[in-house]
Structure 1
């Protein structure tokens, strides 16, 4: 876009006349809280924050930004680690007030507004014995998670959140609304399932929900010390090769917070979730791992879905400082395990951690070109994440995340997950986009971008530029 303009009083007055929500300017009560995002490292000062009151408010804000050449940040749940939900000297469209979730239990269809969190959706679906596959932190926004893909505890039996999407209503750069589905604007629908917020502002999502027991058989096997970690990782690698789809497991390595009552030493935690009613079968499967690598401690018991889904929330309060990197990989042999264990042993502080997601199952059976999401053949996905409070720790925590990611680069099998990517100022946008999607998918996404956002209004994201 061309040179950006200043938001003047006349424009503000016009915007206030058009929207049912609230327009907050610097100095207004509530502005300072409204400008902040989840990642406390991100400090931005928008010219205005528009808190949408209805879905109809989205179009006027988009048109205002385009016509006045103002940078536009779109915020759903606001949990984006790169801090893309705010901007200096531009407009923030805050969708937090649009959190309604409608459930049709007979058809197993769920319609979700763009400000809803995973907790909002789970609270609506769980009473019906249903769930939409999403992520692992309940304060995450449904919109950003889905547009980026959506890993979580139901990925192996049901695929990504984006794989369970039926349709999206999208406000385009022109301010008009289109519907994207398999039968209506199918190419746009393809791009929305992993291409992020590059093509417009989603005003609603419609999902297919999945049956889920009232309680899921779930838990954590806990291991202390590098010697035990090596044994646990070797056993877990063998165990994952024979798992049914209904068992999803995620390894987390961190110094537990005090409330977890696991002590202050680094711990490797093998978490699992069994998605069927037959808990005895789940117990038999988990017991095979327990026998191969006896844990130092464990918490294994049935849990309500909403309880299990929110178990990690306390690690990620709003305002925490954060920097993340991720990669896919297929090998978990002695060479890779040695790298992982060495980095795990460095974490003597509370404030960084990493997860290893075991994939396959329904996720891996989606054809590679069916969505933009990269690398459906990956066995594992590593997310290295920092979450600390003191700015004095910035350099050390960022260096740990970057160093670990560098160590894993020789084993990477391609693609990055945009929801696990922090901000990387100064990196060439096209090179970054190629590293995420690969050249073939990127060319298809660029063509979509040219059709729906040729001036790149929606650029405050992991951006797909409309030019080569």
Structure 2
């Protein structure tokens, strides 16, 4: 099959290096303002599963490697590799079955659109915390989303997947068929050996009283805040999401502190009475000395996405790294110290204290690295000339957590560091993934992750 034949078989668009719009399309594959210094030979903007199959078969026939792009939101720029990029962004269909509480969603369906569509039927899903991120890489990497304490990690709410394999065949995988493929689709992230073209999702009733409360402190209150959060998560229902955000002080508080530590408690309750009862338990242990307190703010998913979106202005340059830990006190202390010396005022970090582990919410899957506390540090800056300073800050901050780190979350780990991919899985899961890759992708058609630097120019 030559290029002309490929174009005839693809219902979507095919872009090659000679095309006038190539650079705009290539740069647009990554949401981050920091673009990879890599140049695909061919970019296939798939319209359906048939397009994906045709692109994979073309790659096999011509000995080319394949990179899969969902939304291009991974901070390490994984969406752009050499060879052929298959862009799934246009595959965003959604069919909801309210009676069965299931939905069939294509990989380009974005979190914000999904929650909005489900809410019309009184349903919900543990979608990701950023509205513009699609299901593709989010679900494939596990999916640590809204109300995961009660609903579980997002990939464990997937009942089946439709996958194009390295030979171009299309298969369905679930707990009942193609079980090895389904196991890997639950958390393998960039180590997956195929292209997921559809997900069947298990849905939940939409909480009717989502309420968020915030307590903002000076950073030196970190030990008291951590102790409060840790104790609280053992007293409240699993429907509470409790996060500490270390960042530059918001304008109303900038005259009182340069940096702040804000404890954010979001309650996903079924009734207002339940929400207020849970809030009473939370606020009873709140440390004194808060600079600002805002209680029981009504926060639909749309409002939650607006809040999160303020931390990620489009066009900025980003880098991030994650750590799971069982030492919340030391983790929060070191993150707070790191944010205080960040070279960019826009950089921040967060730590989420989880409810006690429920084995029933962790069925078998490649997603196998988890701990009592999750953290992520985000370097956010504007100019390419600031790349070295901000990347050095991020990596130093993460290295300081190494003594208390259990491992990493592949969805937001600094995967330009070669050791991060192995550290995102349990040893047994990582070895099983390697064996499955050899079985299902013996020619190495799909790009394996490698540490590849991003360019310093804008």
1:440 corresponds to which residue? 428
C-alpha root-mean-square deviation of aligned residues, in Å? 2.3
Deviations 1:41-97 (A, max 9, x none): 223322222111222110011111222122322111211111111124x22111111
Question: What aligned pairs does 1:61-460 form with structure 2 within 5 A after superposition?
Answer: 61-88=55-82, 90-197=83-190, 198-223=192-217, 225-255=218-248, 263=254, 265-291=258-284, 292-294=286-288, 295-299=290-294, 300-333=296-329, 335-347=330-342, 349-360=344-355, 364-366=358-360, 370-376=364-370, 378-412=371-405, 414-424=406-416, 427=418, 432-460=420-448
1:32 corresponds to which residue? 23
- The answer to whether the 8 A contact 1:38-1:317 is kept is no
SS of the counterpart of 1:311? helix
For 1:174 and 1:205, the matched residues in 2 are separated by 20
Residue range with higher mean Cα deviation, 177-186 or 241-250: 241-250
Deviations 1:5-37 (A, max 9, x none): xxxxx7221110111001122353543332121
Deviations 1:153-185 (A, max 9, x none): 211011111010000000000011011101011
SS of the counterpart of 1:269? strand
- The answer to whether the 8 A contact 2:328-2:353 is kept is no
- The answer to whether the 8 A contact 1:196-1:462 is kept is no
Answer yes or no: is 1:13 the counterpart of 2:4.
yes
Distance verdict in 2 for CA 1:274–1:186, change over 3 Å? same
Q: What is the deviation of 1:220?
A: 2.6
Distance verdict in 2 for CA 1:81–1:341, change over 3 Å? closer
For 1:276 and 1:35, the matched residues in 2 are separated by 43
**Which ranges of structure 1 fall in alignment gaps of 5 or more residues?**
1-9, 464-468
- The answer to whether the 8 A contact 2:173-2:182 is kept is yes
Deviations 1:312-334 (A, max 9, x none): 1233244432222111111234x
Q: What is the deviation of 1:262?
A: 5.1
Q: What is the deviation of 1:461?
A: 4.2
Q: What is the deviation of 1:210?
A: 0.8
Q: How many residues are paired up?
A: 442
SS of the counterpart of 1:420? coil
- The answer to whether the 8 A contact 1:255-1:347 is kept is no
Distance verdict in 2 for CA 1:226–1:360, change over 3 Å? closer
Q: What is the deviation of 1:201?
A: 0.4
For 2:74 and 2:135, the matched residues in 1 are separated by 11
For 1:305 and 1:287, the matched residues in 2 are separated by 22
**Which ranges of structure 2 fall in alignment gaps of 5 or more residues?**
452-458
Distance verdict in 2 for CA 1:137–1:262, change over 3 Å? farther
2:14 corresponds to which residue? 23
SS of the counterpart of 1:138? coil
Q: What is the deviation of 1:39?
A: 2.2
Distance verdict in 2 for CA 1:344–1:230, change over 3 Å? farther
- The answer to whether the 8 A contact 1:156-1:245 is kept is yes
TM-score (norm: length of structure 1): 0.88
Distance verdict in 2 for CA 1:20–1:448, change over 3 Å? same
Distance verdict in 2 for CA 1:415–1:129, change over 3 Å? same
Q: What is the deviation of 1:348?
A: 7.0
Distance verdict in 2 for CA 1:298–1:25, change over 3 Å? farther
For 2:253 and 2:448, the matched residues in 1 are separated by 40
For 1:25 and 1:348, the matched residues in 2 are separated by 39
For 1:62 and 1:315, the matched residues in 2 are separated by 37
Q: What is the deviation of 1:416?
A: 1.6
For 1:462 and 1:214, the matched residues in 2 are separated by 44
Q: What is the deviation of 1:375?
A: 3.5
Distance verdict in 2 for CA 1:150–1:116, change over 3 Å? same
For 1:287 and 1:349, the matched residues in 2 are separated by 37
TM-score (norm: length of structure 2): 0.90
